[in-house]
Copies of this chain bind each other. A is one copy, B any other.
Amino acid sequence: MRIALDAMGSDRAPATEVEGAVGALLSLDGDFELVLVGDRERIELELGRFPEAPRDRIEIVHAPQRIQMGESPAQAIRRKPDSSIVVGLNLHKQGEVDAFISAGSTGAVMAGSLLLLGPIPGVDRPPVGTLLPRRRGRILLLDAGANVDTRPHQLVQFAHLGTIYARDLMGIEEPRIGLLNIGEEPEKGDERAVEAHRLLAASPSLRFVGNIEGRDIIEDKCDVVVCDGFVGNVLLKFYESVAGFIVGLLRTEAEAANAPLDLSGIFQALDYTEYGGAPLLGVNGVTIICHGGSPPRAVRNAIRVAVQAVETQMVDHIQSRLAAAQSNS
């Protein structure tokens, strides 16, 4: 198995990517090689810091261009054919690699994946999934911000995608699907939610457990929660910030009380890097998107997720499930 890693994506590229890549090669199980895509010279320089790196499992593919955060995603993909994102995705499209990982511009990675890999039939608009920490384990939130103004039937597509992800990557045999809403009853919510509830309840191949309110997200009521990308994105960013806020309040309190507290356990429980990147689901390939501020550990974990997605044949499973869902509707 070969996995392409955009070495020029993160805020501290390529140092972060190279360190994460070496860490993954040395620590993760699985028979895989990594293709580092980006500025060859700078990558070689970083690699020089790791004499222990298994060079026979690392290939460098030169990509001189870099897509910046501010650029229009679709334009950047067309105008920069030698960017690390376009080169990496083309390697995937041509079957040279089995997955692509990037901490670069989320919009450009999404636009490039759609344009170069294409959507899986039955998926109108591929969503981004994010794993949120909760009381027990994690919950998969779909869509975390790739699509707004979604239509009810698209939330049903998200539910099918989430079912496969939870089964293949989280090991949950029959994942419970919830619909993010503002009340428990089927008639609650806006027009989209009411219709999506009806469609989800009428899908026998989904284990739909009903509406999930804001307060239920951190409870163990479902494994996958589907929503429009607007509310999903607001929620995700709010969670990231509020966790830091509350931990900060407590740290102040602990210092005032002269009760020095080891907060590492908390941070681990709330740390998104623990799970690495967010998969773009519903494209013809494995694309993993990482936070621009990802540390090496997040890159390593994203590689782990990619290896697992390839090993479990997640994309094949998504294709057959969507084909079945389409022929049943």
Contacts and interface: CB of A to CB of B under 8 A. Distances in A.
Interface of A: 134-135, 145, 148-149, 180, 182, 189-191, 193, 213-219, 228-231, 233-243, 245-247, 249-250, 253-254, 256-257, 259-263, 265-266, 269-270
* Copies of the polypeptide in the assembly: 2
A245 B214 contact: no
Q: Counting chain B CB atoms within 10 Å of each CB, which of A215, A219, A228, A263 scores highest?
A: A215
B266 A262 contact: no
A275 B259 CA distance: 29
A189 to B, nearest CB: 6
A259 B259 CA distance: 6
Contacts of A145: 182
Contacts of A245: 134-135, 218
A234 B237 contact: no
A133 to B, nearest CB: 9
Given A238-B217, A240-B215, A241-B217, A182 B230 contact: yes
10 contacts: A148-B190, A182-B237, A215-B241, A219-B241, A234-B235, A238-B239, A239-B242, A242-B242, A249-B270, A259-B261
Given A214-B235, A214-B237, A246-B247, 6 more contacts: A149-B191, A182-B233, A189-B230, A215-B237, A215-B240, A250-B266
Given A213-B234, A230-B189, A257-B261, A269 B241 contact: no
Given A230-B231, A234-B182, A261 B266 contact: no
Contacts of A250: 247, 250, 261, 263, 266
Contacts of A215: 237-238, 240-241
Contact of A218 (B189, B242, B263, B270): B242
Contacts of A218: 238, 241-242, 245
Contact of A243 (B189, B219, B246, B266): B246
Contacts of A266: 246, 249-250, 253
Contacts of A149: 190-191
Contacts of A219: 241
The 10 closest A-B pairs by CB, nearest first: A214-B237, A214-B238, A148-B190, A215-B241, A214-B234, A215-B237, A182-B233, A259-B259, A246-B246, A231-B231
